[in-house]
Structure 1
């Protein structure tokens, strides 16, 4: 089954229910490309794929009293490590294992569900899970992205009822109740949740996750791979960059970038092109020295930020 373009997959924004930011039909060629662009240990991708496959194959055959699976994968790690991109890419990759089905990716906007009105957040969460998501899943395999899941499943033990509205506590309760209900009634759903702050997630939510995977910042070898992939991709438009992508001196840049996450590394390449108007006008003139200078600046900013904490 060939993946089509994302433009064909997006439901019109005006047709999206409250709390849903996007719905895509799968597989999706752009999401497949993003999956390939995220440089993490191969074991992480293999584990995620295997867990996803099991979710849709095992849960339809084995009752929950034997295997109490909830259909939830949780990705945790620092910002910029590619958790959301991995989640979207995983959804598309799983679709290739279901060629006869018409799976879809549903992305939840947690901030659209919160409200200062007492009881409104709880009702919104309950309606989203019990009605919107359940209805979407009734037509085929459905993968739900819960980005920043701590927004919906905040750790109740860390909250003060005096400092936080009771509604936030009730919203977490609603998420847990709905996860249990959907797990019981619909094995056709897989939730992929992400969080930069796993300590802020309620323990009861984490206990319902079938798999928790930490996505760490890239090690030096991975940093080199990310830089090479990024610059090599740019060489499609600026051919002279192909030489830099294969240069042995790129290892020096990777060493200078140690500690930066994947997002920061790609932005650093852009910053290197902005070292001068000449390079900005023609990125073919980018040099290793430009990259080293940009790397030093990015590290300095990161160290300043770290020291300020």
Structure 2
């Protein structure tokens, strides 16, 4: 022990700390190597050396009045001596951080960590019945500015679960897109190649954009929506603006990229003279193969008019899946209706609402629900026929606690014009047979 001394970290110790990490860190460390190196250089680190060899290290950082040990390790040969080196290192780190006025010095230990006795010898207390949870932040600080410039954002967690009904569509997206991308190792063992691009098609108002956001939320990836109309004013032209946007997206570690109403920039080419968007279509057809070469990204496009797309756009090798998003069935409509009932709603005949909204889109149901809620609110306000005036009652308050009734909802349904006509719905079913790729 006489040859071992403990001192502050020096830059020349970095290789020794790397060797120590390889030899002494647990199989599943709480802090990554990059964080440990950063704390050695910027926070607080004590090093044990035997001659010139680094044989132990204790690294800590402060967060307000609490200190955290981000790495502690002793080479196995020296740890086996059981001569108190580990406890000395921890005590030296505590003294080094004492001027910070810390109230606590804590450590998170994986179950496989071999240094618990060293902590106990240094007067640390083992806390029982604690659980360690973590969530990886998908957008690092260095790429946050790029995401903001692209107009992207992180979708709210849990958005997937808030999509009412549409069970078949959700199961399909989960199996085809989410699972291979979130568990690539498992997918690879079964010979499944993670998808890079998917097309959603169906009548307007069926929730294609919502599903794209929900997939991003389910993956925990940033969501970047590309608006061709906004790129039209780019000095490089629409095609140039599109290429520059995809080039910036390459700077993100992960991303779900979404283009809605993609038929506007990928319509059928041909004609004399060529259409004004033909150059943009050509550019997009070039960009998709380049995009597919990048891991950790998913391109999702949506169209209301899949027949208008250029045939080359849907060819194998560009889109892995062409997925129909249709009108909600009875079970889906029931789930969507339940999501729109307010707490004050009484005994609602859900079956009657489901039957009355056959052929409605989720957006149609949402509109009818809002209309019924407004009718209920207006009925609850004091009526002028009872003698109340605006001056006498400048701030009328609701007097009806029951909320919307079945009658309110049925009346709102009758007043709602369906988004999808019967012929459009029939064309969609035909398109599933001829164009869907699941």
Structure 1 and Structure 2 fold alike (TM over 0.5): yes
Aligned position for 2:428: none
Matched-pair contact (CA < 8 Å) for 1:107–1:146: yes
Structure with the higher helix share, 1 or 2: 1
Aligned position for 1:204: 312
Cα separation, partners in 2 of 1:256 and 1:3, compared to 1, 3 Å? farther
Deviates more, 1:220-229 or 1:189-198: 220-229
Aligned position for 2:239: 122
Cα separation, partners in 2 of 1:149 and 1:91, compared to 1, 3 Å? same
Larger radius of gyration: 2
Cα separation, partners in 2 of 1:307 and 1:153, compared to 1, 3 Å? closer
* 1:58-69 pair list within 5 angstroms: 58=184
Aligned position for 1:8: none
Cα separation, partners in 2 of 1:68 and 1:152, compared to 1, 3 Å? farther
Cα separation, partners in 2 of 1:72 and 1:308, compared to 1, 3 Å? closer
- Specify the SS of the correspondent of 1:156: coil
The unaligned stretches of length 5 or more in structure 1 are: 5-10, 96-102
- Specify the SS of the correspondent of 1:178: helix
Equivalences, count: 262
Instruction: Determine which structure has greater relative contact order: mean sequence separation of CA pairs < 8 Å that are 6+ residues apart, divided by chain length.
Output: 1
How far apart are residue 148 of structure 1 and its match?
A: 1.7
- Specify the SS of the correspondent of 1:213: strand
Q: With structure 1 as the length reference, what TM-score do the two structures score?
A: 0.73
Aligned position for 1:173: 282
- Specify the SS of the correspondent of 1:290: helix
How far apart are residue 211 of structure 1 and its match?
A: 0.9
How far apart are residue 225 of structure 1 and its match?
A: 2.1
Aligned position for 2:64: none
Structure 1 segments, 4+ long, off by >4 Å, are 1-4, 55-59, 66-70, 279-283, 305-309
- Specify the SS of the correspondent of 2:322: strand
Aligned position for 2:34: none
Aligned position for 2:163: 37
Deviation digits for residues 58-117 of structure 1, max 9, x if unmatched? 59x97xxx999761011111111111111101111122xxxxxxx322221221123598
Matched-pair contact (CA < 8 Å) for 2:165–2:334: no
Cα separation, partners in 2 of 1:75 and 1:50, compared to 1, 3 Å? same
The unaligned stretches of length 5 or more in structure 2 are: 1-133, 138-143, 382-397, 425-438
How far apart are residue 284 of structure 1 and its match?
A: 3.5
Matched-pair contact (CA < 8 Å) for 1:147–1:194: yes
Matched-pair contact (CA < 8 Å) for 1:38–1:85: no
Please tell me the root mean square deviation across aligned C-alpha atoms, in Å: 3.4
